[in-house]
């Protein structure tokens, strides 16, 4: 790089106090305004924009060169910081009181015609944005998000390091483990026919680090899961993973609360209120139909089965009937009801019944109601005249979960959140859940979670009633992370495996290294993993974690920029001892 044009400072950091100084600036041409006898250029770097002035009377060579400049050319300039003439200040930008009168200009590189306008915040088709992600990343929105993410990462490192956690890296090439998500596999050349797996999380390694006496571990860890994508799910994502020894749940809560406090204070200058509220898994499902309730909104679910099973309205017969109150919306139109019904159906509801509480209640089953039933309904749902009640009926458990999803739609449609950030701990998770499709018991969290002491006696007899030392952190209805106190006793770990249908031989084959480690003096330990992408996305006000990832993939896990995944050479496959089964591909 030409030393003469070595940058002395950034564009966006200059202000009125700098007037009179000579500077060298480097950056991209954000926009050129050519007045014929005078040219203005907005020069942009990651800090912002500053206005350059090219005046032929001041330096004609630079002026003539500036006539050629186009958007996104990369240039360097030498010049003097001037106060703008009276009346020509631009108060919309931070550097709007000053401008740079350019002495010399050099063009570092030119740009092709752009696939989209980098200097405008218009919504571009997401495929095109990803295809040209290097340009998309120049725009302020993503620059801000990437910077925010950087700041959060730095705060996490400092906070956890200051709290005695050591940052330890664990293998990316590891072994495939049963249960959990589908693995991304990596074929081994040396061991033909065998595969590594990319980690779904560093779970087993961090537990072994506890056995190793590391005592407190953390990692900003990339994790891989080959499952279908969502706005908040990418095939590779990042967890703030931590584990500590000789601790209990309360220790984890206060460490993580302190961490979140530091993140929000340090990156957004927002002071969170601690401690975060807690809610049991059971209460969350009862009141909100989900284990990650968005408590920014007051709306709740009400079980009105007992009352409405009695009336002669066929959809309610022998069904679980769950109601939700939409306060002061009793005046909804027929069209409004139809729209709600459509969205409820899209979320899995068989239908949507409604009741508008007027002087005379209106709705599809209002004629079956008497005064007593109506009063009971109003009491249970805490509703009054002018309110709208909506009902979903289905098999027990189903109606509640469906209404839980529909509640989010109701909130979006009718209400403003009460607060910007609503954190919530979900505690007392069950240790197991029953998978109907596969007709077997599964780990609700993961197979290494310990049961609550007081429920251990139920393990073999009523395993589904056993509660776990497991917890989730929820923010605005998003699961930010989950964790647990692990089984540090190999005998307990074996009991849990056995209930999961993993017999002893099987357990040793698949997790022997962990069981072995636990048998050489394992401290009580537990930890948590928090989704960094999700945290940053919420802080940035983004709906999708793609907006806080530099190079995300599309919903079918394709990268339009690199065109991954791709074919590979036949030779590469041969070295790995792999052949593609054409009939499976086509």
Partner RNA sequence: GGGGCCGUGGUGUAGCCGGUUUAGCACACCUGCCUGUCACGCAGGAGAUCGCGAGUUCGAAUCUCGUCGGUCCCGCCA
Which residues between 151 and 180 bind RNA (CB under 7 A)? 177, 179-180
Residue 35 engages RNA in binding (rule: CB under 7 A): yes
Parallel/antiparallel/unpaired status of strands 48-54 and 166-167: unpaired
Residue 222 engages RNA in binding (rule: CB under 7 A): no
Q: x/- binding map, residues 272-301, to RNA, per CB under 7 A?
A: ------------------------------
Residue 228 engages RNA in binding (rule: CB under 7 A): yes
Alpha carbon distance 306, 316 (integer Å): 10
Smallest separation (angstroms) from RNA to the CB of 293: 14
Of 127 and 166, the one with the shorter C-beta distance to RNA is: 127
The token pair that represents 328 in the structure block? 């002061």
Smallest separation (angstroms) from RNA to the CB of 571: 27
Of 117 and 188, the one with the shorter C-beta distance to RNA is: 117
Of 55 and 283, the one with the shorter C-beta distance to RNA is: 55
The count of other CB atoms within 10 Å of the CB of residue 429 is 24
Of 12 and 447, the one with the shorter C-beta distance to RNA is: 447
Which of the residues 367 through 406 are near RNA (CB under 7 A)?
Answer: 405
Segment interacting with RNA (CB under 7 A) among 54-62, 190-198, 312-320, 576-584: 54-62
Smallest separation (angstroms) from RNA to the CB of 169: 17
Closest CA to 206 of 527, 521, 473: 527
Segment interacting with RNA (CB under 7 A) among 1-9, 225-233, 380-388, 501-509: 225-233
Alpha carbon distance 100, 79 (integer Å): 6
Which of the residues 541 through 570 are near RNA (CB under 7 A)?
Answer: 543-544, 546, 554-556, 558
Region of 409 please: left (phi>0), alpha (psi -120 to 50) or beta.
alpha
- For residue 354, CA distances in Å to 63, 305, 394, 511, 528 come to 71, 15, 15, 52, 42
Alpha carbon distance 322, 306 (integer Å): 10
Residue 440 engages RNA in binding (rule: CB under 7 A): no
- For residue 244, CA distances in Å to 165, 315, 493 come to 8, 52, 18
Residue from the set 116, 368, 414, 421 that interacts with RNA by CB under 7 A? 116
Which residues face 278 on adjacent strands? 425
Alpha carbon distance 230, 252 (integer Å): 29
As a dihedral over the C-alpha atoms of residue 13, residue 16, residue 19, residue 23, rounded to 10 degrees, the angle is: 10
Alpha carbon distance 192, 209 (integer Å): 30
Residue from the set 6, 33, 413, 440 that interacts with RNA by CB under 7 A? 33
Residue 127 engages RNA in binding (rule: CB under 7 A): yes
Which of the residues 458 through 517 are near RNA (CB under 7 A)?
Answer: none
Residue 268 engages RNA in binding (rule: CB under 7 A): no
Residue from the set 1, 3, 20, 113 that interacts with RNA by CB under 7 A? 113
Contact 243, 207 (CB under 8 A): yes
1 alpha carbon, distance to own chain's centre: 40
Residue 532 engages RNA in binding (rule: CB under 7 A): no
Which of the residues 68 through 107 are near RNA (CB under 7 A)?
Answer: 70-71, 84-85, 87-90, 92-93, 96, 99
Of 129 and 365, the one with the shorter C-beta distance to RNA is: 129
Smallest separation (angstroms) from RNA to the CB of 147: 22
Residue from the set 121, 122, 269, 569 that interacts with RNA by CB under 7 A? 122
Which of the residues 55 through 74 are near RNA (CB under 7 A)?
Answer: 55-57, 70-71
Closest CA to 308 of 399, 386, 414, 409: 399
Rg (CA), the chain: 30
Residue 115 engages RNA in binding (rule: CB under 7 A): yes
Reduced to 3 states, what is the DSSP secondary structure of residue 44?
strand
> Nearest 5 degrees, angle CA 251-CA 255-CA 260?
145
| Size of the residue set binding RNA (CB under 7 A) | 74
Of 151 and 452, the one with the shorter C-beta distance to RNA is: 452
Which of the residues 333 through 362 are near RNA (CB under 7 A)?
Answer: 346-348
Smallest separation (angstroms) from RNA to the CB of 93: 7
């Amino acid at each position: 790089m030409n030393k003469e044009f070595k940058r002395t400072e950034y564009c966006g950091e200059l202000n009125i106090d700098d007037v009179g100084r000579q500077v060298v600036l480097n950056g991209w041409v954000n926009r050129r305004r050519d007045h014929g006898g005078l040219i203005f250029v907005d020069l942009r770097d990651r800090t912002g924009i500053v206005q350059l002035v090219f005046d032929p009377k001041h330096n004609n060579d630079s002026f003539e060169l500036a006539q050629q400049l186009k958007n996104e050319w990369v240039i360097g300039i030498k010049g003097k910081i001037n106060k703008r003439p009276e009346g020509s200040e631009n108060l919309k930008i931070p550097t709007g009181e000053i401008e740079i009168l350019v002495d010399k200009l050099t063009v570092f590189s030119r740009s092709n015609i752009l696939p989209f306008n980098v200097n405008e915040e218009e919504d571009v088709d997401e495929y095109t944005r990803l295809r040209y992600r290097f340009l998309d990343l120049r725009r302020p929105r993503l620059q801000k998000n990437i910077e925010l993410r950087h700041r959060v990462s730095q705060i996490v490192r400092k906070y956890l390091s200051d709290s005695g956690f050591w940052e330890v890296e664990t293998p990316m090439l590891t072994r495939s483990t049963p249960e959990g998500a589908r693995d991304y596999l990596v074929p081994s050349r040396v061991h033909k026919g065998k595969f590594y797996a990319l980690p779904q999380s560093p779970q087993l390694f961090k537990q072994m680090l506890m056995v190793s006496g590391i005592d407190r571990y953390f990692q900003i860890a990339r994790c891989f899961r080959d499952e279908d994508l969502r706005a908040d799910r990418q095939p590779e994502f990042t967890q703030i993973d931590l584990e500590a020894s000789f601790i209990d749940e309360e220790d984890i809560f206060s460490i993580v609360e302190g961490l979140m406090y530091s993140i929000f204070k340090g990156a957004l200058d927002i002071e969170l209120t601690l401690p975060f509220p807690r809610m049991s898994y059971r209460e969350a499902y009862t009141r909100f139909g989900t284990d990650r309730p968005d408590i920014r909104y007051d709306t709740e679910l009400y079980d009105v089965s007992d009352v409405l099973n009695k009336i002669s309205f066929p959809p309610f017969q022998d069904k679980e009937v769950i109601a939700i109150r939409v306060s002061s919306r009793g005046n909804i139109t027929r069209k409004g009801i139809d729209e709600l019904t459509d969205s409820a159906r899209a979320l899995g509801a068989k239908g949507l019944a409604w009741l508008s509480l007027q002087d005379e209640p209106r709705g599809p089953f209002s004629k079956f109601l008497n005064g007593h039933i109506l009063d009971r309904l109003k009491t249970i749902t805490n509703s009054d005249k002018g309110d709208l009640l909506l009902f979903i009926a289905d098999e027990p458990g189903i109606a509640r979960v469906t209404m839980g999803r529909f509640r989010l739609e109701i909130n979006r449609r009718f209400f403003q959140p009460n607060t910007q950030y609503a954190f919530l701990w979900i505690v007392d998770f069950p240790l197991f859940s029953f998978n109907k499709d596969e007709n077997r018991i599964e780990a609700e969290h993961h197979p290494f979670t310990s049961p609550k002491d007081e429920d251990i006696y139920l393990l073999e007899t009523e395993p589904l009633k056993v509660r776990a030392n497991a917890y989730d952190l929820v923010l605005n209805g998003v699961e930010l992370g989950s964790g647990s106190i692990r089984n540090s006793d190999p005998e307990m770990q074996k009991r849990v495996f056995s209930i999961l249908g993993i017999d002893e031989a099987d357990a040793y084959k698949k997790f022997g290294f962990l069981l072995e480690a636990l048998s050489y003096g394992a401290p009580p330990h537990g930890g948590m993993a928090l989704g960094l992408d999700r945290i940053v996305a919420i802080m940035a006000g983004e709906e999708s974690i793609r907006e806080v990832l530099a190079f995300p993939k599309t919903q079918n896990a394709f990268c339009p920029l690199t065109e991954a995944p791709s074919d590979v050479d036949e030779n590469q496959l041969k070295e790995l001892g792999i052949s593609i089964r054409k009939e499976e591909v086509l």
